[in-house]
A = this chain, B = another copy of it.
């Protein structure tokens, strides 16, 4: 061990220096990309998102998801967490990746769960917010459609906004259930799914355990409706007020609530 030449010792030191430098390199980069630890969001672990004694509300997201159809119901449902003495809602996004997805309008969002790999909690309410290719190529994603079918079959409520109804129909969740979709796509929907009754010019439709909304800014009303169904008018009114919405289900026009489905029609 003591018979190393001077050159050999230098060579070994160079290797040590190289190894240490490479070890430190990722740490340096990390430091560069987090200039302000105070403002860096710490992503909650999946278990921290799923608090006990709450409903679990999953939002299916993917590239091309529309902002408003995602955030309107997301906000209404998340705000149940600030009302006392109710079984509030855990809300989380589910995608087929953990990488960033890009919304139609260009926001980059990191999904909470990957349905292809993660163990998901029991989902009580499934929300399909609508995305750019819900009327065409997304319908060919058999893994996704199978996940929607299985999750929807076991959920307490299944809801969609805008073109999300196309996914529900493709997954067979609208068989024998009337619905609505984005106004400009009603004809396409009828051509594609002639067996499903679709209403035109309505804000939302509730039939059995399925609530479908025409989407856009009308996504607030259908979400508030479900909140009122689960928690009553006082809670719905307070959440509406927090979102600066003049909410009164009795005066909301263009709503179809099917009778005899086991739920009160309020």
Contact = CB atoms under 8 A, between A and B. Distances in A.
Interface of A: 1, 3-5, 7-8, 11-12, 15-16, 18-19, 22-23, 25-26, 33-36, 39-44, 49, 62-63, 66-68, 70-72, 74-75, 78-79, 91-93, 95-102, 105-110, 112, 114, 116-117, 162, 182-183, 214-218, 220, 241-245
B105 A41 contact: no
A35 B97 CA distance: 7
Contacts of A75: 66-68, 105
Task: Return the 9 tightest CB-CB contacts between A and B, nearest first.
Answer: A216-B244, A15-B15, A41-B102, A216-B243, A67-B71, A108-B110, A78-B105, A40-B99, A22-B22
Contacts of A183: 241, 244
Given A8-B8, A183-B241, 16 more contacts: A3-B8, A15-B16, A25-B26, A26-B26, A34-B99, A35-B98, A35-B116, A41-B101, A41-B108, A43-B100, A68-B72, A68-B243, A79-B105, A91-B105, A91-B106, A217-B217
22 contacts: A15-B18, A15-B19, A18-B19, A19-B19, A26-B26, A36-B116, A39-B62, A39-B96, A39-B97, A39-B99, A43-B100, A74-B105, A74-B107, A78-B105, A78-B106, A93-B107, A108-B110, A109-B109, A183-B241, A216-B242, A216-B245, A217-B245
A18 B17 CA distance: 12
Contacts of A1: 7
Contacts of A244: 162, 182-183, 214-218
Contacts of A72: 68, 217
